[in-house]
């Protein structure tokens, strides 16, 4: 049936070859195109929407089918012989719609053969009655619609759910299905085993597509970011012929119906574009190198289609248009230029493609309801009701929906339609409508008006027919009283171009005198003339006149831009008393819908928000916020968590919870936590659900991610949509959400058992502390009693072993005991022995211990071991004992040692005068050379002043000689046969810690020090840290510290002293040399005395760590270098 009597053909389509964008405020998840290319069908949870691409201004036909399952796929039959069939999924069922039937009864068949959600539908390219479906239940089913009661054939992978099924475009017996990472190729003549399986990808395959040109070629795409081209003609392919590596997971890759190209559509990322690449004959691996990028969507594109016209005559004269649907809710039409077609080698002289099954489809639209739609005899209707279980809409619902605000829906739809350049990027401001008021056609003009005049009621709009009926209250009664006016306007086809005026008809009414009516009409024509002469839409001016008697004299196009005027007038209207009255107060709800417009409009009941915006006068912002086409920047903020745990410093776990009502459990399903709906669409699913409701639960949980595994990537995608939708953060969202619940309840209400869970789940919150100290191997009580300084390693280890055993840490205690043994350099029986290279030394045992505690994550033990086994301690003890500075058991807090002694070959650690020095002597009992592996030390004191005593401070080689000193009063060293021992000696003096891993040990220590610090054991912490500072560090100490403290100044309250003039002068003088300081200086964070860097160094090399000003502060430990 044609609208408005204007016969359309594909060649005069006003949208083909044009850019168009249509905003559809539905959560459309699938799209398909009719064989003629005139209609597209959009599928959402509300049903199917048929959009006539040649008349995008009209509200789509709505085939109501409310479901709680996302529609995974919708396919319009590609056959010219079956142009009325559309198949959509509804969880495990596939619905076959016949669009030539009235919408309320359009479901012709229901294909029920799968056990779980269907993921893909594919019509057979040659047989119009055959189609294949695949599902997460791993089956691929073939259906012959001549007998839709059961599938005609079945294939299964048995293991993984199927994501896609596609027929070969040339060989009618072959079809392919993708299961997780594999592609199976089936021959319908060969039963149950795929004749070919390709292990195609490293991640789930999202799409497969057969070539239009070559029988055995197909393309696959996957979440692993690759698109692979295969040819199974010769053998089962192991490797693809050609691979494209993209940087995003690929949702679809399809051959183009023209030339030899391929269109790649990302699942996410990729600039929200669709990419056209040239397939050519390329081989190997390549990066994504598109010949064209279709980019304008603001969110990922969800589906794309090719609309074509022309056919196969002598030459291939087809033209193409790309249609995309994106998550940004825009349906876009993209003209495809000849250049683009040529870039993928589209050769018009060759008619290489097989004749499309679409060819010859009548260019008609299924947008309109079939004529007999509502004139059906009651008998027939009841017959249908009985035979068709799937009668979509209860008639009560239909009636309700017919009452609703048709004009508002229509206007909103109009606002979303953009043609030509305006469909491109930008143009829309943040509220979803244009800044510019210049409208190019009636549709846009009407759309723009809806925002401005909420009081004007658009009772009927038919853009293609050029009819508009509106009503309002204007000051046309006696004494200027407000009276009701209804105006009927019919617009000429080319409006506002062409110079023809629209026709105005004022409905006769008693409240307006005839005289007045004529006057109004005259003025309206005058206004129209003025605007049409400059090819502008006159509607707004007309309405203004009717509302507020703004006459044509107010408009002067020479001087004042219409836009500016608009702004002023809006102010004016706010004062107008006629705007205060809501038209609906009249109680008069005239609705005149011509029979061919008996479409059902998705429910949009008045609720508080909606009502308010209509009553509020010209509240532009408010209104646009609630406008469904409000275009927003995506707010991807995840919903804040309600429960969590954070570790405190000491094994305390701070837990916080959302307190919940237990009652929640009794609610059945579809429990959308309203307060959380920004992110957490959560379904609570108690076990005691009936079958009916559990189906519901499963369905709605696909938006929740409960059934993520069922849907695989599909599901996560839906979830994403759901989420985006849900936290758009705009009022409209909430409104429609509410409506959904209302709908749901009204539908499910009859079935019983379902209840909508509202905002009741949140009750309060609680923060609790839990003690999980026992899980953490570092123990405070051990740290309190451990000793790591002030004695020999052996004794310290013994002490620590006792402590560990006392608290019941026996593995730790054992380790300490072992360490105390190997650390002792002396063996009782035959002399002295270093354990360094022995398996019980560093080579095996120490490293095993470290590994063990590393695996236990026992930082305490790791750090203590790296302290006690460190040669630092040995040196320290040695030094201390020599100098008698320290008695065992007293904690050591002396400054760092100053001298560094390195040993290149056998130069020995030495300090002080030669007389007190201890030298290891290498001598066997009987004077003979012992085995190289064991060097025996003599207790005997050998006076030998000839030994070369070196005090070397070589920086180049920092091999610290590791000697263990006990405390014999005097020791002389004598080297015998030293040439034989030269290499051995080094080996045997191996420190127990591997110096090459010193970094690691330092890390253990500093981390443990931090732990100690948080335990409040500051002294212990400092002791551990001491091991991290080699003597060398001391000399350059300030630089190490500077980093730590320079930042502190930033956050600390700045000491006011700094800025007092008097002190400021003081501060600028070096405390050492008395000269003023410019440039780099060192300052103490406590006393704030400053030094030249050079002076500070000089001062500190004198061995004093106090401030030179005499204030008593130990500056050198606290100083900061700054410039």
**Which of positions 1050-1079 make contact with other proteins (CB under 8 A)?**
1050-1054
CA distance 943 to 970: 10
650 binds other proteins (CB under 8 A): yes
Q: What burial class does residue 927 get, using C-beta atoms within 10 Å of its C-beta: 0-12 exposed, 13-18 middle, 19+ buried?
A: exposed
- Please name every residue paired with 937 in a beta bridge, in sequence order, or none if there are none: 922
1048 binds other proteins (CB under 8 A): yes
293 binds other proteins (CB under 8 A): no
Exactly one of 190, 403, 522, 770 binds other proteins (CB under 8 A); that residue is 770
Exactly one of 781, 1033, 1076, 1101 binds other proteins (CB under 8 A); that residue is 1033
Exactly one of 420, 424, 644, 1055 binds other proteins (CB under 8 A); that residue is 644
354 binds other proteins (CB under 8 A): no
804 binds other proteins (CB under 8 A): no
Region near other proteins per CB under 8 A, out of 43-51, 538-546, 589-597, 647-655:
647-655
Exactly one of 159, 510, 767, 915 binds other proteins (CB under 8 A); that residue is 767
- Please name every residue paired with 1120 in a beta bridge, in sequence order, or none if there are none: 1083
Q: In the complex, what is the shortest distance from the CB of residue 855 to other proteins, in angstroms, rounded to a whole number?
A: 5
Q: In the complex, what is the shortest distance from the CB of residue 475 to other proteins, in angstroms, rounded to a whole number?
A: 44
CA distance 122 to 209: 11
CA distance 229 to 118: 26
Q: In the complex, what is the shortest distance from the CB of residue 818 to other proteins, in angstroms, rounded to a whole number?
A: 18
Instruction: Answer for the pair 832, 983: CB distance below 8 angstroms, yes or no.
Output: no
**Residue with smaller CB distance to other proteins, 387 or 999:** 999
Q: Residue 495: count other Cβ atoms within 10 Å of its Cβ.
A: 23
Q: Please, where are the H alpha helices in 171-234? A: none
CA distance 326 to 597: 28
668 binds other proteins (CB under 8 A): no
CA distance 480 to 476: 5
Q: How many CA atoms lie within 13 A of 1038 on its CB side?
A: 25
In sequence order, what DSSP letters do the residues of 724-761 get, joined into one string? HHHTS--HHHHHHHHHHHHHHHHHHHHH-S-----TTS
Per DSSP (E only), the strands in 499-583 are 503-506
Stretch 975-1004: interaction string toward other proteins, x if CB under 8 A? -----------------------xxx-xxx
Instruction: Answer for the pair 646, 772: CB distance below 8 angstroms, yes or no.
Output: no
CA distance 639 to 11: 50
Exactly one of 5, 378, 750, 764 binds other proteins (CB under 8 A); that residue is 764
Considering only residues 836 through 855, tell me which ones interact with other proteins, judged by CB under 8 A: 852, 854-855
User: Residues with Cβ < 8 Å from 726, sequence gap 6 or more?
Assistant: 677, 678, 679, 681, 733, 737
1091 binds other proteins (CB under 8 A): no
Considering only residues 616 through 635, tell me which ones interact with other proteins, judged by CB under 8 A: 633-635
- For 17, 899, 955, 963, the CA distances from 902, given in Å and listed in that order, are 84, 10, 8, 12
Residue found under tokens 């002791």:
1023
649 binds other proteins (CB under 8 A): yes
CA distance 304 to 30: 10
Region near other proteins per CB under 8 A, out of 66-74, 780-788, 1049-1057, 1101-1109:
1049-1057
CA distance 984 to 823: 19
For residue 496, cis peptide bond before it (omega within 30 degrees of 0): yes
Region near other proteins per CB under 8 A, out of 176-184, 352-360, 857-865, 976-984:
857-865
Exactly one of 34, 90, 133, 1028 binds other proteins (CB under 8 A); that residue is 1028
430 binds other proteins (CB under 8 A): no
Q: In the complex, what is the shortest distance from the CB of residue 610 to other proteins, in angstroms, rounded to a whole number?
A: 26
Q: Whose CA is closest to 1100, among 1078, 1079, 1075, 1071?
A: 1071
**Residue with smaller CB distance to other proteins, 390 or 896:** 896
Exactly one of 222, 576, 778, 1071 binds other proteins (CB under 8 A); that residue is 778
Stretch 717-746: interaction string toward other proteins, x if CB under 8 A? --xx--------------------------
CA distance 1018 to 1012: 7
955 binds other proteins (CB under 8 A): yes
**Residue with smaller CB distance to other proteins, 139 or 1081:** 1081
- For 171, 802, 869, 1049, the CA distances from 813, given in Å and listed in that order, are 77, 7, 16, 44
User: Residues with Cβ < 8 Å from 513, sequence gap 6 or more?
Assistant: none
Exactly one of 373, 394, 777, 897 binds other proteins (CB under 8 A); that residue is 777
Region near other proteins per CB under 8 A, out of 117-125, 895-903, 1023-1031, 1108-1116:
1023-1031
374 binds other proteins (CB under 8 A): no
**Residue with smaller CB distance to other proteins, 454 or 1038:** 1038
The torsion angles phi and psi of 1105, rounded to 5 degrees, stand at -110, 10
Instruction: Answer for the pair 323, 331: CB distance below 8 angstroms, yes or no.
Output: yes
Exactly one of 477, 651, 753, 1094 binds other proteins (CB under 8 A); that residue is 651
895 binds other proteins (CB under 8 A): no
945 binds other proteins (CB under 8 A): no
Considering only residues 681 through 700, tell me which ones interact with other proteins, judged by CB under 8 A: 682
Q: In the complex, what is the shortest distance from the CB of residue 161 to other proteins, in angstroms, rounded to a whole number?
A: 15
> By rule CB under 8 A, what count of residues binds other proteins?
99
């Amino acid at each position: 049936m044609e609208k408005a009597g204007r016969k359309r053909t594909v060649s005069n389509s006003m949208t083909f070859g044009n850019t168009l964008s249509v905003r559809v405020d539905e959560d459309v998840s699938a799209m398909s195109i009719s064989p003629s290319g005139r209609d597209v069908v959009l599928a959402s949870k509300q049903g199917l929407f048929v959009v006539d691409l040649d008349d995008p201004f009209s509200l789509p036909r709505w085939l109501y089918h409310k479901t709680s399952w996302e529609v995974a796929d919708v396919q319009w039959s590609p056959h010219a012989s079956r142009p009325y069939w559309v198949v959509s999924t509804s969880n495990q069922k596939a619905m076959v719609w016949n669009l030539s039937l009235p919408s309320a009864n359009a479901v012709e068949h229901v294909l029920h053969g799968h056990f779980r959600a269907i993921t893909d539908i594919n019509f057979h390219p040659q047989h119009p009655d055959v189609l294949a479906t695949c599902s997460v239940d791993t089956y691929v089913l073939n259906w012959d619609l001549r007998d839709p009661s059961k599938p005609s054939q079945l294939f299964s992978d048995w293991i993984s759910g199927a994501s896609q099924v596609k027929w070969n475009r040339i060989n009618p017996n072959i079809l392919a299905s993708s299961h997780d990472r594999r592609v199976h190729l089936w021959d319908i003549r060969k039963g149950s085993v795929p004749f070919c399986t390709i292990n195609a990808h490293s991640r789930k395959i999202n799409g497969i597509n057969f070539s239009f040109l070559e029988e055995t070629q197909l393309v696959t795409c996957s979440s692993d970011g690759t698109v692979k081209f295969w040819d199974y003609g010769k053998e089962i392919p192991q490797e693809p012929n050609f691979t494209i590596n993209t940087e995003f997971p690929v949702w679809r890759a399809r051959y183009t119906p023209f030339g030899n190209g391929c269109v790649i559509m990302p699942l996410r990322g990729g600039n929200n574009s669709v990419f056209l690449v040239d397939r050519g004959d390329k081989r190997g691996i390549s990066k994504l190198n598109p010949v064209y990028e279709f980019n304008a969507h603001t969110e990922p594109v969800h589906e794309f289609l090719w609309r074509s016209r022309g056919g196969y005559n002598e030459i291939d004269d087809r033209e193409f248009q790309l249609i995309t649907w994106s998550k940004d809710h825009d349906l876009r039409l993209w003209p495809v230029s000849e250049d683009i077609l040529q870039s993928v080698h589209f050769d018009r002289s060759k008619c290489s493609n097989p004749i499309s099954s679409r060819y010859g489809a009548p260019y008609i639209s299924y947008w309109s309801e079939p004529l007999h739609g509502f004139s059906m005899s009651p008998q027939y209707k009841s017959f249908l009701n009985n035979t068709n279980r799937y009668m979509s809409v209860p008639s009560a619902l239909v009636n309700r929906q017919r009452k609703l605000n048709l004009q508002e829906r229509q206007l909103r739809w109009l606002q979303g339609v953009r043609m030509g350049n305006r469909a491109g990027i930008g143009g829309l401001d943040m509220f979803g409508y244009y800044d510019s008021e210049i409208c190019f056609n009636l549709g846009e003009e009407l759309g723009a008006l809806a925002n401005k005049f909420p009081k004007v009621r658009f009772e009927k709009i038919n853009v293609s027919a050029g009819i508009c009926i509106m009503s309002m209250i204007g000051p046309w009664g006696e004494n200027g009283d407000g009276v009701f006016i209804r105006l009927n306007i019919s617009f000429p086809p080319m409006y506002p171009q062409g110079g023809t005026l629209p026709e105005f008809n004022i409905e006769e009414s008693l409240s307006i005198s005839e005289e007045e009516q004529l006057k109004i009409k005259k003025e309206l024509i005058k206004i129209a003339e003025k605007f049409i002469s400059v090819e502008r839409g006159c509607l707004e001016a007309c309405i203004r006149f009717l509302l507020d008697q703004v006459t044509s004299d107010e408009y002067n196009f020479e001087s004042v831009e219409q836009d500016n005027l608009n702004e002023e007038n809006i102010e004016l209207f706010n004062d107008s008393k006629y705007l205060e009255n809501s038209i609906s107060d009249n109680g008069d709800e005239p609705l005149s819908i011509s029979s061919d417009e008996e479409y059902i409009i998705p429910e949009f009941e008045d609720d508080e928000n909606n009502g308010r915006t209509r009553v509020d006068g010209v509240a532009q912002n408010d209104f646009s916020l609630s406008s469904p086409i409000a275009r927003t920047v995506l707010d991807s903020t995840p919903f804040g968590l309600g429960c969590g745990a954070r570790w405190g410093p000491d094994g305390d776990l701070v837990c916080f919870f959302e307190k919940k009502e237990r009652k929640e459990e009794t609610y059945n399903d579809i429990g959308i936590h309203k307060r959380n709906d920004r992110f957490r669409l959560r379904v609570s699913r108690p076990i005691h659900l009936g079958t009916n409701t559990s189906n519901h639960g499963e369905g709605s949980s696909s938006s929740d991610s409960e059934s993520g595994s069922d849907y695989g990537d599909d599901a996560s995608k839906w979830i994403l949509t759901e989420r985006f939708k849900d936290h758009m953060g705009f009022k409209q969202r909430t409104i429609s959400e509410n409506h959904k619940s209302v709908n749901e309840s009204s539908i499910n209400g009859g079935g019983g058992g379902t209840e909508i869970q509202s905002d009741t789940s949140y009750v309060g919150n609680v923060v609790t502390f839990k003690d999980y100290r026992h899980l953490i191997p570092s123990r405070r009580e051990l740290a309190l009693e451990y000793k790591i300084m002030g004695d020999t390693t052996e004794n310290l280890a013994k002490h620590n072993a006792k402590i560990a055993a006392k608290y019941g840490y026996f593995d730790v205690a054992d380790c300490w005991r072992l360490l105390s043994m190997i650390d002792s350099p002396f063996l009782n029986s035959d002399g002295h022995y270093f354990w360094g290279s022995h398996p019980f030394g560093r080579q095996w045992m120490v490293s095993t211990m470290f590994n063990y505690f590393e695996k236990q994550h026992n930082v305490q033990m790791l750090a203590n071991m790296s302290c006690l086994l460190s040669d630092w301690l040995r040196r320290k003890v040695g030094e201390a004992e020599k100098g008698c500075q320290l008695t065992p058991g007293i904690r050591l807090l002396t400054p760092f040692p100053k001298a560094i002694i390195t040993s290149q070959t056998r130069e020995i650690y030495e300090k002080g005068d030669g007389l007190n020095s201890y030298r290891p002597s290498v001598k066997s009992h009987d004077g003979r050379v012992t085995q190289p592996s064991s060097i025996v030390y003599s207790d005997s004191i050998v006076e030998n002043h000839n030994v070369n005593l070196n005090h070397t401070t070589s920086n180049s080689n920092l091999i610290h000689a590791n000697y263990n000193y006990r405390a014999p009063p005097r020791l002389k060293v004598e080297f015998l046969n030293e040439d034989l021992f030269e290499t051995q000696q080094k080996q045997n003096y191996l420190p127990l810690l591997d110096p090459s891993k010193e970094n690691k040990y330092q890390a253990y220590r500093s981390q443990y020090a931090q732990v100690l610090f948080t335990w409040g054991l500051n002294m212990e912490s400092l002791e551990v840290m001491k091991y991290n500072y080699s003597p060398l560090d001391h000399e350059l100490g300030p630089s190490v510290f500077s980093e730590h403290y320079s930042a502190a100044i930033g956050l600390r309250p700045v000491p006011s002293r700094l800025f007092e003039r008097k002190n400021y002068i003081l501060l600028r003088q070096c405390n050492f040399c008395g000269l003023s300081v410019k440039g780099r200086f060192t300052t103490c964070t406590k006393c704030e005395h400053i030094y030249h860097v050079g002076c500070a160094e000089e001062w500190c090399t004198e061995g004093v760590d106090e401030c030179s000003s005499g204030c008593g502060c130990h500056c050198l430990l606290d100083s900061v270098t700054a410039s």
